[in-house]
């Protein structure tokens, strides 16, 4: 059975983007990105909210950019090889391979996917992940917390969820980012 993992890169106060919609303050450097690549090699399917997909689809063509460091090229290959399900009522087409649109988040369908998948499943961004969290489908949380307070914006976690977690891994990086991994 595959795990469903919610990963987020956040500020210390728990936001994935600030009130202006910016998140350039938490862009992973090469060291963090190499570790993200290591984690994401186990992911076979990404469940994306439409907004997260619109950001991540950059990786479909990132390999054509000159002078990309190897760590970014590696991530491009990881992303392109994975299956993607994009949840959206508004999106008409997708611009990446191995991608299909889902009009509704059906917890039973995700449960079945977890039961049949050989490799792990990742869910993001926070709006979509909230559905999975509230349905009790998320098995692990992975947070990359950046050393910055932004004061407001889009929280990484829904406000009305409550559950206990077991810390199963942690790591610190040279740029001050701290990674924590929790099992539900
Ligand atoms: N912190 C970081 O490093 C980082 C990295 C990448 C991206 N981001 C940013 O994080 C943000 C994404 O998070 P988000 O929480 O705002 O959005 P999101 O969860 O990625 O996407 C929200 C959209 O997903 C669709 N959706 C959500 N629930 C659905 C459901 N039950 N059924 C069908 N469709 C559903 C809807 O699309 P429709 O409106 O089309 O129906 C909804 O507007 C983006 O701004 C992204 O740029 C941050």
pLDDT digits (tens, 9 = 90+) for 5-24: 999 999 999 999 999 999 99
Interatomic CA distance for residues 176 and 174, integer angstroms: 5
Q: What residues have CB less than 8 Å from 27, skipping those under 6 apart?
A: none
Nearest ligand 1 atom, CA 102: 33
Give the pLDDT score at 68.
Answer: 83
- Is there an atom of ligand 1 within 6 Å of 51 CB? yes
Alpha helix ranges (H) inside 3-69: 30-40, 50-56
Helical (H) or strand (E) element with 132: helix 126-134
Residue 178 near residue 145 (C-beta atoms within 8 A) = yes
Residue 144 near residue 32 (C-beta atoms within 8 A) = yes
pLDDT digits (tens, 9 = 90+) for 76-110: 999 999 999 999 999 999 999 999 999 999 999 99
Alpha carbon nearest to ligand 1 atom 1, residue:
16
pLDDT digits (tens, 9 = 90+) for 103-150: 999 999 999 999 999 999 999 999 999 999 999 999 999 999 999 999
pTM for the full predicted model = 0.97
Closest by Cα among 2, 16, 25 to 112:
2
What would the mean pLDDT of 62-86 be, rounded to a whole number? 91
- Is there an atom of ligand 1 within 6 Å of 181 CB? no
- Is there an atom of ligand 1 within 6 Å of 9 CB? yes
C-alpha of residue 72 to centroid of ligand 1, in Å: 23
Q: Taking phi first (over 0 means left), then psi (-120 to 50 degrees means alpha), and beta for anything else, what does residue 98 get?
A: left
Provide the angle, in degrees to the nearest 10, between the axes of the packed helices 30-40 and 70-81: 30
Interatomic CA distance for residues 74 and 28, integer angstroms: 14
Give the pLDDT score at 148.
Answer: 98
What is the best residue among 6, 29, 51 to mutate for testing ligand 1's pocket, by most ligand atoms within 8 Å of CB? 51
C-alpha of residue 168 to centroid of ligand 1, in Å: 27
Residue 61, phi then psi, degrees to nearest 5: -120, 5
């Amino acid at each position: 059975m595959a795990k469903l993992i919610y990963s987020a890169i956040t500020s210390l106060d728990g936001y994935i983007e600030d009130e202006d919609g910016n998140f350039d303050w938490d862009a992973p450097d090469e060291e963090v990105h190499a570790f993200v690549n290591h984690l994401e090699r186990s992911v076979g399917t990404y469940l994306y909210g439409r907004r997260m997909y619109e950001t991540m689809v950059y990786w479909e063509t990132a390999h054509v950019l000159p002078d990309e460091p190897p760590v970014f090229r590696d991530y491009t290959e990881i992303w392109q090889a994975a299956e993607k399900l994009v949840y959206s009522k508004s999106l008409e087409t997708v611009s990446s391979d191995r991608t299909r649109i889902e009009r509704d988040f059906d917890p039973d369908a995700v449960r079945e996917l977890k039961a049949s998948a050989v490799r792990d499943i990742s869910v993001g961004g926070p709006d979509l992940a909230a559905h999975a969290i509230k349905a009790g489908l998320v098995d692990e949380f992975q947070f990359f917390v950046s050393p910055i307070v932004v004061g407001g914006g889009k929280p990484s976690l829904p406000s009305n969820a409550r559950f206990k977690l077991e810390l199963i891994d942690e790591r610190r990086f040279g740029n001050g980012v701290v990674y924590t991994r929790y099992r539900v």
